[in-house]
Structure 1
């Protein structure tokens, strides 16, 4: 059975699934690249290339997040599974809201770092995103601090989110993770009643 474009009340559509996993991979990749590139010196081969890649992917993720928010309004996520406890539902809502908030904070602050001198961000030589602030003294430093700490908060929250999904899959054996991976629901095995 082919997965639909849009979400239904029971399952995620392929657009939501694709955006979810692309953003997840990008966030962890950008985090690793960010930690790597701050240790580079002027004479390292990746001194200029690593920030260019980091900034370019960051802008693409920011655009993807704008689309993701709009898509969520057009195609709301499926309802919670009946097996989810009230505290799990509340925790999931808080975690999702927190990740959206932190994602936008880390992406916007990341954009403000290279544009604080008035220059734009060149995205893989495809297009340039201009500075919206112009030259602002001290902005680069403030945005850099915010970017660093929010990135750590985002990654920690994302790891907790992943642990929760694994818990649902391995311990609860429900469809939480399978729905976001585009997998069919497992068949429900009912105990046999051999009594007469």
Structure 2
């Protein structure tokens, strides 16, 4: 079992973090869209936002681990078959995904703490409120949060389609590397 990334594939920890974060993001997106439709007397009216906030803080911790792990165990280099445009667009897409995820977590935090109360994470611990301006903060952060959520979904769909294009059309090892299998085409041009 290979936990660290190598020159021709991603290690198991990077793969695990990638898929846990991706599944969590889509789950949070669905939960967010659903919870804003709930009426005040619905039994999930208060539970759903608390669940959303708790998962959001855990997602932040997972992202911090992912960034630290990326520094400790750098990803494999670009495949030699990739064009210059592909290399640049892949790097930009990854940077944007990371920035969007951190931004959506931050705006979620601003929404959650607008009333000055800390965020309770499943009752295990609390994240204190550092900024609070109830009305304006929650409204502006909520609007940005929604736009960021849609941006992450659209960019991640493009990311997945690019991986599938590499696998089925280009027939290179891009997707194989993310599944922990070595790529016969590795290394930088």
The TM tier, using the shorter chain, reads over 0.9
Q: What is the distance in 2 between the residues matched to 1:75 and 1:148?
A: 33
Counterpart residue number, 2:153: 155
Counterpart residue number, 1:6: 4
Counterpart residue number, 1:164: 162
In the superposition, the TM-score normalised over structure 2's length comes to: 0.92
Q: Work out which of the two has the higher radius of gyration on C-alpha atoms and give 1 or 2.
A: 1
Alignment of 1:116-195 (within 5 A): 116-185=114-183
Alignment of 1:61-72 (within 5 A): 61-72=59-70
Q: What is the distance in 2 between the residues matched to 1:106 and 1:169?
A: 30
Structure in which a larger fraction of residues adopt helix = 2
Partner SS state of residue 60, structure 2: helix
**1:75 pairs with 2:77:** no
* Runs of 4+ residues over 2 Å off in structure 1: 134-137, 183-187
Alpha-carbon deviation of 1:100?
A: 0.8
Counterpart residue number, 1:194: none
Query: Among 36, 44, 47, which residue is 2:45 paired with?
Result: 47
In the superposition, the TM-score normalised over structure 1's length comes to: 0.89
Q: CA RMSD in A?
A: 1.6
- Superposed CA deviations along residues 155-194 of structure 1, whole A, max 9, x for unmatched, are 100100000001111111211112112235479xxxxxxx
- Superposed CA deviations along residues 78-115 of structure 1, whole A, max 9, x for unmatched, are 00111111111111011011111111111110111111
Equivalent residue pairs, number = 185
Higher RCO (C-alpha under 8 Å, 6+ residues apart): 2
Counterpart residue number, 1:21: 19
For structure 1, which runs of at least 5 residues remain unmatched after alignment? 188-196
Partner SS state of residue 122, structure 1: strand
